[in-house]
Structure formats: C-alpha cells, structure tokens
Amino acid sequence: MSGTAAPWTSGLDRLLEDGVGRLRGRRYGLLGHGPSRTAGQVPAHLALAAAGVTPAVLFGPEHGYYGVEQDMVAAADREDPWTGAPVRSLYGDDVASLRPSRDAFEGLDLLLIDLQDVGARYYTYAATAVWAAEEALAAGCEVWVLDRPNPLGGTMEGNLLEPGYESFVGAFRTPQRHGLTLAELLRLEASRRGWDEAGLEVWPVAGWRRGDGWDEALRPFVAPSPNMPTLDIAAIYPGLCLIEATEVSEGRGTTRPFQLVGAPGVEPTALAERLNGRRLGGVAFVPTYFRPGFQKHAGEVCGGVEIVVTARGPERWRMAPVRLGVEVLFALCEGMGDRFRWREAPYEFVEDVPAVDLLAGTDRLRRAVEEGDRDGLEEWMASWEQDGRVFRQEVETRDGFLYG
C-alpha cells in the first residue's frame, strides 16, 4: 500500500501528519468511501487504525462505504472486516433514510468527513455531508471536514436551482457545475443556514489551486462511485447525467457509462452527424451500437453514440459539459420523435416532479425540448452567465472560497 509523493496533500494526509494526537482518547465516526485514501493508497480507516486511533463507527454515503451498490440501491449496515467497526448506511430505501438521524451520532464526540466530490450539483455526497454535519453538530459532535480537490477545477456552468425543485440530486442552490470543493460547499451551506461554526473545522488541501483540476500523471483518480471510473467520465458528467431523466440509456450496464448514449431503434450515424454539427469543443461523437448488461434496455442492442473526450490537460476543464448534455438531450428528442420518452419511475424517491426538472432545477429545459424550441433553449443557456455571477458573488460574500 505504498505510493509516490502526491503533488498536493489532502485533508486526510494533513490530519495523519499533524493531527493524530488530537484524536487520541476520542470516540469519533468517519463518513467516507473508496477514494478516502492516503497518498500512498491506504484506506482512511486503516491508516487511522494503524496510527492507533481507530474510528468507532464508519458511515457510508450512496453506493455504500465500499462503493458496492449501484445508483438508487439501498446500502445495508454491516461490520468492517478489518477493524471490526460497525458500518452505518446513510442511504436506505426511502426518502427519510437520506438524512441521518441525530441518534446516529449518539455516543460520539467527533465526526470526520472525507468524501470525494466531482463538482456536479447532482452528485449526492455533498447533500449527505451537509446533512450529516448538521445533525452531528446538533447532537454535540464536532465536525472536521478533510477536503479533497474538485476534479473539474473551479469553472462554473449552468443555472441556479430554482425554489421548488430541491431534492437529493439538487439539495443546494448552485449551478450544475459549481466549481467548489466539498468543504467549500459545506462552508457555504453553514453560512446560509446560520450554523454555530464553533464545532466545525476544515482541513484544506495543501498545494492545490482552484484552476488545477486533476492531473492523472501526478496522482491516480480513484472512482468515487461505480459509474464514475475515469476523469473523462467525470468531465462530461455534469451534462450527461441529464440522460438519466429519460428512457434512453446513459450507458449504465456497460464499461463506458455516460460516454455511451442510445436506445433500441436509434440510428447512430444520423445522431452522430447531428451532434458533431453542433461543433461542441473537446468532444467527438462516434456512431456505435452497445448492449447494456443491466438497467435500461438490459440485454438489448442500442444504437447511439460514443462521446469521446478529445481535450487533454487543462483543456479538459475548459469544456462546457452542461451545454454538452443539453445538446445531446435536444438531439435525441429531435431525432427520435414520438419514441423519445422522459423517465416515468420515481427519481431519488420523488414522484410528483419529473426527473429532468429535478436535475435541471427548473422546468425550462423540459419545455424547450418538448416544444423543439431552439431559441428558448439558447435563451435559457445564455442566462447561465448571470446565474454564475450571482453564485460567485454569494460565495465571495460569505467568505466561502478556500483556494486561489
């Protein structure tokens, strides 16, 4: 479990270097998952145990502490086989299970949070972190946030979530690509909610700047969830997650989730030509067929496109993934006609609001797609610039930025 020196130092590594003594004699919990590792690739709970400060309990977000479960699949409580610590799931089979109860922190005096976010509003770890911190502080626990970089850097893109569209995949009023780290998001919400922050402490990333993104040549990217295995996928996820709101496959059940998009009966060449004609920077659309092993259209051959990320280095973080997802959605509806369908099943336990509205944080996207209203779509996307200015100003006013 050894590795080379990292170009930046995570909050976890800083804690292990300088703060282990503060953990001695304390009964604490750790909210973490697969990427909660040291620079040498040692899982956080094992590194802490080796330092003589074993967590009393482990908390797992969506997908579970070990990242076993697929999306929207409940994770069960269990026992950690290495330390014997109980593992408590913070993602169950109903909406009430998504917000930890105050009782979950009974008997603890500290909660450590070490989760790898990917910079998208839909990614549920931020909601779990904020809600867990809120309940832990109310229960009398201190909260330490061990921060990690935003893999997409600091660029913001998309619209602010409108009132009435809040959900587990849109818990906070941010753009789809928010440009913050998990600790920055948590600090922002702490300010918005008026928390007494005396018990809240952030361990920032050392040696990382907001514009850096993530360089795989310097430090490996560890999949934070089962369908987020690569940086290319993370780079397009803030837009391609919108396909989850349709009956078109977003590539789950294949080895290229979010890079493969299609459905039975879709003509690949026509879709690829339509999308390549939009001249979206940093990607190419390749006509293809694929067969998902599970989820939508499992076992069926789907026609569609493979989205190849051609941008590399800093250019990858200058892409506009939210616009990319909107363009794919519009092209699918335009090309499929009456065969295009929105998702009808409940989405993250919400039944009365369409999934696409929850993800978009508004009904403007759905209405423009349904009506084939290209002008309305462009007008909506043009409004993102103002939303971005409003959001950035709020973060600055609340002193939320931690990195240059």
53 plus 165 within the same structural domain: yes
pLDDT at 197: 85
Residues 6+ apart with CB under 8 A from 167: 347, 348, 350, 353, 358
359-388 average pLDDT score: 97
Q: What is the pLDDT of residues 152-164, one digit of tens each?
A: 999 999 999 999 9
102 plus 23 within the same structural domain: yes
Residues 6+ apart with CB under 8 A from 382: none
Provide the pLDDT confidence category of residue 7 given band limits of 50, 70 and 90: confident
Instruction: Give the rounded distance of the alpha carbon of 303 from its chain centre.
Output: 27
Q: Distance of CA 102 to CAs 85, 88, 133, 140, Å? A: 19, 13, 10, 10
239 plus 216 within the same structural domain: no
How many domains does the structure of the chain reveal?
2
Q: What is the pLDDT of residues 125-135, one digit of tens each?
A: 999 999 999 99
Cα–Cα distance between 302 and 311 in angstroms, integer?
26
Give the domain-ending residue among 309, 341, 373: 341
User: In 258-353, which ranges are continuous DSSP H helix?
Assistant: 268-276, 321-336
Q: Judge whether residue 1 has pLDDT over 70.
A: no
106-119 average pLDDT score: 97
Q: Whole-prediction pTM value?
A: 0.95
The range of the structural domain enclosing residue 310 comes to 231-341
Task: Give residue 154's identity as a one-letter amino acid code.
Answer: G
Q: Is 43 helix (H, G, I), strand (E, B) or coil?
A: strand
127 plus 254 within the same structural domain: no
Cα–Cα distance between 13 and 200 in angstroms, integer?
19
Give the domain-ending residue among 296, 314, 341: 341
pLDDT at 403: 96
Residue 289 resides in a domain? yes
Closest among 132, 255, 252, 257 to 195, alpha carbons compared: 132
Cα–Cα distance between 146 and 398 in angstroms, integer?
20
Q: Judge whether residue 205 has pLDDT over 50.
A: yes
Residue 369 resides in a domain? no
354: left (phi over 0), alpha (psi -120 to 50) or beta: beta
Whether 69 and 92 have beta carbons less than 8 Å apart is answered as no
DSSP per-residue letters across 111-122? EEE-----SBTT
| Dihedral angle sign, alpha carbons of residues 102, 104, 108, 112 | negative
Which CATH number goes with the domain that contains 165? Answer: 3.40.50.12170
222-250 average pLDDT score: 96
pLDDT at 59: 97
Residue 348 resides in a domain? no
Residue 4 resides in a domain? no
175 plus 32 within the same structural domain: yes
Comparing 51 with 1, which gets the higher pLDDT?
Answer: 51
| Helical (H) or strand (E) element with 144 | strand 142-146
298 plus 327 within the same structural domain: yes
93 plus 240 within the same structural domain: no
215 plus 237 within the same structural domain: no
Range of lowest pLDDT (92-106, 116-130, 171-185): 92-106
Instruction: Give the rounded distance of the alpha carbon of 246 from its chain centre.
Output: 19
Q: Is 150 helix (H, G, I), strand (E, B) or coil?
A: coil
Cα–Cα distance between 315 and 307 in angstroms, integer?
16
pLDDT at 2: 40
250-265 average pLDDT score: 97
Residues 6+ apart with CB under 8 A from 149: 8, 181, 205, 208, 212, 213, 214
Q: Judge whether residue 89 has pLDDT over 70.
A: yes
Report the Cα–Cα distance between both ends of the chain, in Å, rounded. Answer: 32
87 plus 153 within the same structural domain: yes
Residues 6+ apart with CB under 8 A from 135: 99, 100, 101, 102, 104, 105
Which CATH number goes with the domain that contains 266? Answer: 3.90.1150.140
Cα–Cα distance between 395 and 8 in angstroms, integer?
24
138 plus 235 within the same structural domain: no
Q: Judge whether residue 367 has pLDDT over 70.
A: yes
Give the domain-ending residue among 188, 220, 252: 220
Q: Judge whether residue 45 has pLDDT over 50.
A: yes
315 plus 281 within the same structural domain: yes
